[in-house]
Amino acid sequence: MKLPRRLLVLALLALVAPARAQIAVEISIKQRLFILHEPILATVSVTNQTGRDIILADSRQGQWFGFQISSEGDHFVAPRDPDYHVPPLPLRAGETLKRTVNLSELYDFGDFGIYRIRANIYFAAMDKYFSSKPTHVEITEGRVMWRRNAGVPGNAKNAGQTHIFTILAHQHGEQNLLYVRVEDQDRGTVFCTSPLGRIIDGAPPEIQFDSGNNLYVLHLISQRSFVLTKIGVNGEYLGQSHYSAPKTRPSLRKLADGTLQIIGGHREEPVSTNPADLPPPPKLSDRPPGLPRG
């Protein structure tokens, strides 16, 4: 496949890293192992070491903010939108700014494997690219525990569509994490791939839909401690609740009006909206200003 000219330029210039960069670029990704479509949050730090105030801005030669991502075999991953535009960023002499983006929204990680990632900053006044040291992530697939189709009700967004809900388990180090994925395979849309928290081996989750086809997942996270997560029909994260069950395992029961009720557990303080100590997938509107929209 013929690469766009901009990607070829990035690939060549990223190999020429000055010994003393006038603009220092660093990239940080907290974890290394992801499942397909999971948010990959990358934090980029840019430090102005030119000795003067500067402005980073797009030019005819290229966008000032971008990434160079390649898979095994040095196959480059193109951005979803190669013509994105980023507002100019002023940097005072010696100043460092950090920005966090979801690479899964900007680039199509469509295959399993190991990916090499650099952050690239182009400074038009010097006609130079400054690149971070590379970091690596691996994308794999979790173990499917449960999968169902559900229609979107007429009073909801995407009414009439059929969405696929999948519950997956995935090993992260010593922890086994539970995930939910909501997608429309006919349209090629993935609404979310979200962590729900730790799961105990040998204790499968209880999973049910309510009358609006919102998904409820009840699973054991530690001895006599359960978490109930609600996911909307379009993949919205609708919150979690923590339950203790000192005597019997709690269960879900559907009432006559189609709502779900938990039986046999005592509700504790709400769990943080940060399941498994991982942030929920960011929305485009949540991005800091000055970042590309994929």
Contact 169, 199 (CB under 8 A): yes
Which ranges of 83-124 does DSSP label H, i.e. alpha helix? 103-106
Q: What pLDDT shows up at residue 75?
A: 86
Q: What pLDDT shows up at residue 6?
A: 52
Q: Sign of the CA dihedral 263, 233, 271, 200?
A: positive
Q: What pLDDT shows up at residue 270?
A: 58
Give DSSP secondary structure letters for 209-250.
Answer: E-TT--EEEEEEEETTEEEEEEE-TTS-EEEEEEEE-SSS--
Contact 209, 217 (CB under 8 A): no
Q: What pLDDT shows up at residue 85?
A: 84
* Contacts (Cβ under 8 Å, ≥6 apart) of 272: none
Q: HSE-up of 207 (CA within 13 Å, CB side)?
A: 18
SS3 52: coil
| Tokens describing residue 242 | 């923590």
Q: What pLDDT shows up at residue 291?
A: 42
Contact 73, 111 (CB under 8 A): no
CATH architecture under which domain 5-139 falls: Sandwich (2.60)
Q: What pLDDT shows up at residue 136?
A: 96
| Tokens describing residue 194 | 């979200």
Give mean pLDDT in consecutive 10-residue pieces for the chain, a chain of 294 residues: 49 46 92 91 95 92 91 86 87 94 90 93 92 94 93 92 94 86 92 91 90 94 88 94 84 88 78 46 37 38
Strand order in the sheet with 215-222: 206-209, 215-222, 225-231, 237-244, 266-267
Domain segments of the chain: what residues? 5-139, 143-277
